[in-house]
Structure 1
Amino acid sequence: MKKLAIIGSSEFQLPLIKAAKEQGIQTHVFSWGGNEDIPDFFYQVSIVEKDDILQKCKDIGIDGICSIGSDLANITVNYIALAMGLVSNSKQCTDYTTNKHLMRNVLKENNIPIPDFFYINESIIFEPVYFPIIVKPIDRSGSRGITLVEDNSGIKSAIEFAYAESFSKEILIEQFITGREFSVESISFKGKHEILQITEKFTTGSPDFIEKGHICPARVTEAEKASIFDVVYKLLDAVCLSNGASHTELKINEDGDVYIIEIGSRMGGDYIGSDLVLNSTGFDFTKAVLAIALGEDFCKEKYISNILIPRVAIVKFIFNEQDLNMSEKIFAMENVSVIHSDLNKELFVNCKIIKSSSDRQGHILLSVCKTTQNETLKNLGL
């Protein structure tokens, strides 16, 4: 029986744990807490305790290590995989895809289109020369610590907020790119890449940019799709990505120009990698990433479902009573199937002010026909 180490046990790791168990793989999960009863073995430890986890993985004799949807966990995954000679990306790739300053530098060197940026830490004083700008920590994901600043009055509080969220107390100040937001899911094997899907993203906008929902496939023109593919394939080579999943976030401005916002050498969270890709393409991204981590040869056709008919997949996050009421309308629509949801009214707490993704009160994940996608998005408030 193969043994797999999984770093993290949050809700977004559950598809990976379940997929491994379904295939008879012994699961060893390392996390501070959450969903302890699902894996075969659970070890209560912070996911940043790399050396402690490494020693335990050596004792177990793991055959592979993996995580989905977490940059912080991904650092530990690659540290242990490299130390044990398991399938992984290089240390250089891990640095590029988890440190936004290093990421910006390598993309600039490779002529990848990115926003203008400035790096600061607690010893560097920053005086903005133009607005609007985005202030963000270099080492966080999921909109944590991010603020849009439109004039001098907001710069001090934005920097303090970013410092409070940053592990390393380092910050990026970036040109704010207007336009539509997208993410791109890709898989790589021995340095060869394949783009799987483009996701269209919906956020609360300024000042916090909390993600409200996503749709796959994105509503883009063929020209926009070609531009995205061209930039992302160059990006994957630039950050030295060789094995496993990647999640690229980008914007297309009013002129049709593509700008890379960031890339992670992992699957997208928010059910993008685990559910939206599967239900919009038929490709089981989770099982493919799992197989690569365990050293199996990758063949895309092996992970395409012959039963699942690819449709449009949508996830809507529930923050308040208005979201809840909108989502309940969906159940009466034709050609709409609910994949899963957690609209529990008894546990619902009305969140009037949304400050972060942790304010979510649930979600609803749908499969719809292309002809009804716009109506569905409207009914969901997206």
Structure 2
Amino acid sequence: MKNKHFFIIGGGDLQADLVLSAKKDFITHVFDYNENCSCKNLADYFHPISIADKEKILQLAIKFNIAGIATAATELGNLTACYIGEKLNLGTNSYECAKNTTDKSLMKKVFEKNNINHAKYFILKDEKDLEQITEFPIIIKPSDRSAGRGVVKVFDKENLKKRYYEAKDLSYNKIVLAEEVLKGKQFSIETISSYGKHQIIAITEEYLREGEFADDFLETQHLVPARISKEEKRFIKNEIIKILNAFNVKFGASHIEIKLENLFYNNKQEYKVSLIEIATRIGGWRDVLVYHSYGIDYLQLLIQSSLKQELKKVNTKAENFCLVKMIFTKEDYEFYKKLKTLKPQMIVKERIFIKNDEEFSYSSSLMDSKGYYYLKISKDDDPEDYISLNHL
């Protein structure tokens, strides 16, 4: 198939492995407005075109008679990929599905229509809409952004207006959501689908910055596989299949974030899953986490799905833990350097952007990360030793 063309939407660092994976079998094209993006020199062709420019990319897709199109870790790229995929009858979800899994105000309507547990919320389009909010704390977020941009916890009315306008400035559609703070532990579920047949690839433990701060939702590290019971896993999987069907997911990867509560009624263990959000694309870092814990090539599954191929059943038994740690603070960086010195064999992949200790500043979203690295941890070891920053 090396004479066939394959489009990758987005040329950032988190799309690099997808480009390399597609390049094994296809002539690859990358699209990004940034002419200095990470993938510029990885692909066979680089096009300095915004990933939002659907029509221009569509015309090139027709010109090159592409075999497939995909993206990773970008909602905006997923919108374009699905728009083109639907026009050309490729292995993508519908454009409507992409919109419903990108714009959280639309997402909420699908939740309600299908009786999916989710946070109570208000749609904020104008300052007068803030009058609806009387209980705090509450989460404010732009309706159509990702990577934690603009997501904050507001504790009182004094800060509400300021945070609303900050989120509105970040939003493409100028819609802001206000949500209740959900209880429970946070997980993400990584899936793959082909012709509407869904498989759970992995369940990820997500760790957020601790503390009662406005932006303590910053994701700091992720662990695969999640350390949960068989009963919890079974309950989550049943809910996830329901969610995928509700959004009419047919092809590709999905990244679904939930809160899981353990409840007791009449001395009986019960569980409550509340959906935070769903994105119909691979989550950031998940392909590496899945590969080093399950031995699954998540990117190849995505490519196969984009070509409308039937998918084989994936391995469901993890051989190792894999932990990705983001670097936001000097403490994070010092821990990385210590591990690099004492246990370098554990670091299976790394992308470090910082060069000296003077470059640290306050981080408010994943885009502020100074780098990240992956640790492969034996199933006989305790991952908690590496989730904490003070054991070495």
TM-score by length of 1: 0.92
Residue 233 (1) aligns with residue 241 (2):
yes
CA contact (8 A) 1:6 1:66 kept: yes
Residue 277 (1) aligns with residue 279 (2):
no
Residue 197 (1) aligns with residue 202 (2):
yes
CA distance in 2, matches of 1:43, 1:12: 18
Which runs of structure 2 are paired with 1:254-269 in the superposition (5 Å)?
Answer: 255=263, 256-269=271-284
Residue 156 (1) aligns with residue 161 (2):
yes
Whichever residue aligns with residue 364 of structure 1, its letter is: Y
CA contact (8 A) 1:335 1:368 kept: no
Give per-residue Cα distances to partners, 1:211-265, cap 9 Å, x unaligned. Answer: 1111101122223222211211111111110111000011123634211000001
Higher mean C-alpha displacement, 38-47 vs 176-185: 176-185
CA distance in 2, matches of 1:24, 1:380: 45
Q: Name the counterpart of 2:29.
A: 28
Which runs of structure 2 are paired with 1:211-250 in the superposition (5 Å)?
Answer: 211-250=219-258
Give per-residue Cα distances to partners, 1:109-160, cap 9 Å, x unaligned. Answer: 2111101111121375222121121111111111111111112122111101
CA distance in 2, matches of 1:335, 1:42: 35
Distance 1:334 1:358, change over 3 A: closer
Give per-residue Cα distances to partners, 1:299-323, cap 9 Å, x unaligned. Answer: 235xx69xx9831000111112211
Q: Name the counterpart of 1:99.
A: 103
The match for 2:141 among 136, 141, 145 is 136
Whichever residue aligns with residue 278 of structure 2, its letter is: I
Q: Name the counterpart of 1:8.
A: 10
The match for 1:367 among 370, 373, 376 is 376
CA distance in 1, matches of 2:144, 2:67: 29
Distance 1:87 1:377, change over 3 A: same
Higher mean C-alpha displacement, 66-75 vs 26-35: 26-35
Q: Name the counterpart of 1:292.
A: 305
Distance 1:334 1:342, change over 3 A: closer
What are the ranges of 5 or more consecutive residues in structure 2 without an aligned counterpart?
A: 264-270
CA distance in 1, matches of 2:383, 2:172: 40
Overall identity of the aligned pairs, in %: 32
Secondary structure of 2:161 counterpart = helix
Give per-residue Cα distances to partners, 1:193-224, cap 9 Å, x unaligned. Answer: 11111111111143221111111011222232
Distance 1:65 1:347, change over 3 A: farther
Quote the RMSD (CA, aligned, Å).
2.1
CA distance in 2, matches of 1:232, 1:360: 30
CA contact (8 A) 1:184 1:197 kept: yes
CA contact (8 A) 1:145 1:161 kept: yes
The match for 2:362 among 313, 336, 353 is 353
Distance 1:95 1:359, change over 3 A: closer
Residue 379 (1) aligns with residue 389 (2):
yes
CA contact (8 A) 2:28 2:44 kept: yes
Give per-residue Cα distances to partners, 1:167-194, cap 9 Å, x unaligned. Answer: 0100111111133211000011111111
